[in-house]
């Protein structure tokens, strides 16, 4: 079966978001989707399911100060994932045939001076793992760009948001000219080397940019990037003040796929349930002294899944305030 996100990708970027919201808000979709998900969860829990996607937080340090980020509320220390811990977790994920590893969570991955080594390590263990990360590209040097192209990194998501330098600075407190130069150089290097990886996705997170700015952004990047994405800002499960999201409470919700699909490992080795849990309020295990499967099957993780499955998300820290509605499309093929 073809997934909803795959179908939506066929639509022009300008109308994709509106069409998606209309479908997700319909009663029929919510009803059918909820029934289908209940069936999927029952099947999953009857077998030995394991994470399909792992987020390994290379670092939670950041060089930006974005309007839509709750960084000021993060109380856990900043740091970089130790190479020994990283290799240990990757080795286990390879043994589990993990499908995808993402090297971002809450921070800017390029601030990890071992980021290229980490990418190379994963690809040396298994070429088939889909490997990607989000970056603001401010620190994307020529050397790093060459390493990324050589490493066969699969995809890089670059958050840019604007084409106007002043508006961009207002959103991210970074210099747009530097970022654009770095992105163009990465594209040039990839083209010079006549390879098609990494795929370069250029992303706009909509805070308060008017339609004209969004359209100008799409026009500027759609002939250069492999994909342009436009997404709405979110309020980090009600943890970020000042980001307005209309009508959260009336949104139709269903059990969240992340709890059955994704493993989030913070830079210090502790594991949590989701990127929204940026401060680690739902720690479900510690990869420093537990295996990936220990953590995945821990009592804490199972108890959280049970609450979610029983539609009691108000009993789960962070999820209780969440406005996201991730789809289960990874299971429909
Ligand atoms: S409900 Fe929200 S906070 Fe909870 S796991 Fe899903 S996306 Fe994360």
Residue range 141-151, pLDDT digits in tens: 999 999 999 99
Residues 6+ apart with CB under 8 A from 285: 270, 271, 294, 295, 296, 298, 300, 301
pLDDT of residue 136: 98
Q: Are 54 and 102 spatial neighbours (Cβ–Cβ below 8 Å)?
A: yes
pLDDT of residue 148: 97
Atom 6 (ligand 1) nearest CA: 256
Residue among 300, 326, 327 whose CB has most ligand 1 atoms within 8 A, to mutate: 326
pLDDT of residue 30: 83
Question: pTM of this prediction?
Answer: 0.92
Question: What is the pLDDT of the chain when averaged over all its residues?
Answer: 92
Overall average pLDDT of the 86-109 stretch? 98
Pocket around ligand 1 at a 6 A CB cut-off: 237, 256, 258-259, 273-274, 276, 318-319, 322, 324, 326
Q: Are 278 and 322 spatial neighbours (Cβ–Cβ below 8 Å)?
A: no
pLDDT of residue 133: 98
CB atoms within 10 A of CB 210: 10
Q: What confidence tens digit (pLDDT) does each residue in 269-316 have?
A: 999 999 999 999 999 999 999 999 999 999 999 999 999 999 899 999
Q: How confident is the model at residue 22 (pLDDT cuts 50, 70, 90)?
A: confident
- Output DSSP code: residue 78: P
Is residue 138 pLDDT above 90, yes or no? yes
How far, in Å, is the centroid of ligand 1 from the Cα of 86? 25
Is residue 33 pLDDT above 90, yes or no? no
Q: How confident is the model at residue 245 (pLDDT cuts 50, 70, 90)?
A: low
How far, in Å, is the centroid of ligand 1 from the Cα of 17? 20
Nearest in space to 104 (alpha carbons), one of 141, 153, 67:
153
How far, in Å, is the centroid of ligand 1 from the Cα of 64? 24
Place of tokens 């990194």: 153
Is residue 164 pLDDT above 90, yes or no? yes
Overall average pLDDT of the 204-225 stretch? 94
């Amino acid at each position: 079966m073809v997934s909803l996100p795959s179908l939506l990708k066929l639509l022009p970027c300008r109308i994709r978001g509106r069409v998606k919201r209309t479908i997700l808000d319909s009663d029929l979709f919510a009803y059918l989707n909820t029934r289908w998900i209940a069936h999927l969860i029952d099947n999953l829990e009857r077998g030995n399911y394991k994470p399909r996607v792992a987020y390994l937080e290379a670092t939670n340090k950041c060089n930006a100060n974005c309007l839509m980020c709750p960084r000021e509320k993060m109380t856990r220390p900043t740091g970089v994932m130790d190479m020994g811990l990283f290799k240990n977790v990757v080795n286990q994920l390879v043994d589990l045939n993990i499908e995808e590893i993402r090297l971002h969570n809450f921070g800017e991955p390029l601030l990890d001076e071992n980021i290229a080594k980490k990418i190379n390590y994963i690809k040396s263990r298994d070429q088939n793992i889909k490997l990607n990360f989000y970056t603001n590209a401010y620190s994307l040097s020529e050397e790093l760009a060459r390493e990324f192209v050589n490493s066969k990194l699969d995809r890089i998501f670059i958050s840019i948001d604007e084409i106007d330098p002043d508006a961009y600075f207002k959103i991210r407190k970074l210099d747009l000219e530097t970022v654009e130069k770095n992105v163009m150089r990465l594209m040039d290097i990839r083209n010079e080397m006549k390879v098609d990886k990494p795929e370069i996705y250029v992303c706009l997170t909509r805070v308060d940019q008017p339609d004209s700015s969004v359209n100008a952004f799409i026009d500027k990047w759609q002939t250069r990037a492999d994909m342009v994405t436009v997404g709405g800002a979110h309020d980090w499960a009600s943890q970020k003040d000042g980001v307005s999201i209309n009508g959260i409470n009336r949104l139709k919700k269903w059990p969240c796929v992340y709890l059955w699909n994704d493993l989030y490992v913070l830079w210090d080795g502790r594991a949590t349930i989701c990127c929204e849990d940026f401060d680690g309020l739902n720690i479900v295990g510690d990869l420093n002294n537990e295996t990936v499967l220990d953590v995945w099957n821990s009592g804490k993780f199972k108890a959280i899944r049970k609450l979610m499955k029983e539609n009691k998300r108000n009993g789960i820290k962070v999820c209780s305030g969440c406005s996201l509605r991730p789809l289960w499309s990874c299971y429909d093929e």
